[in-house]
Amino acid sequence: MALDIQLKIYMPEKLVLDTKVHRVVLPARDMPLTVIKGRAPTLLALGMGLLQILDETNHVIDEWLLSVGSADIKEDTCTVLTESAFHKKDLNLDVVKQMYADFENPYYKWLVDYFERDAKKK
């Protein structure tokens, strides 16, 4: 697998991910945007959504849930700046419901809705 893109995800207080990936799908405000090596430099506003990391066969190998932010794409680097980012594997419906109960905000509400939709698919 050719790992062509350096992906970095920053929250205000820390760097949460710094890894090489093959391809990234970002939750752009209008529609998802796929980042591949050689993409034209882009500065992009992100909405609440799912950041997906894909392998060379376009299968999802990792997922992050982001709040609003921005992405800076240059040559072989994709830097994401976001208010909040959670590794999807670290969350479930019960956890996000408790997060929302503890602190009501639009992002936590979106997380609850996301995991409720995900549970209905199964």
pLDDT in tens, the chain (122 residues): 467 899 999 999 999 999 999 999 999 988 999 999 888 899 999 999 999 999 999 999 999 999 999 999 998 999 999 999 999 999 999 999 999 999 999 999 999 999 999 888 86
The contacts found for 84-93 with CB under 8 angstroms, 24 or more apart, are 84/11, 85/9, 85/11, 85/16, 85/17, 85/51, 86/111, 87/62, 87/63, 88/50, 88/63, 88/64, 89/63, 91/65, 91/115, 93/118, 93/119
Whether 15 and 55 map to the same domain: the answer is: yes
Helix axes 93-102, 106-121, angle to 10 degrees: 160
Whether 18 and 74 map to the same domain: the answer is: yes
81: containing domain: 5-87
Whether 68 and 38 map to the same domain: the answer is: yes
Whether 25 and 38 map to the same domain: the answer is: yes
Q: How many domains does the chain have?
A: 2
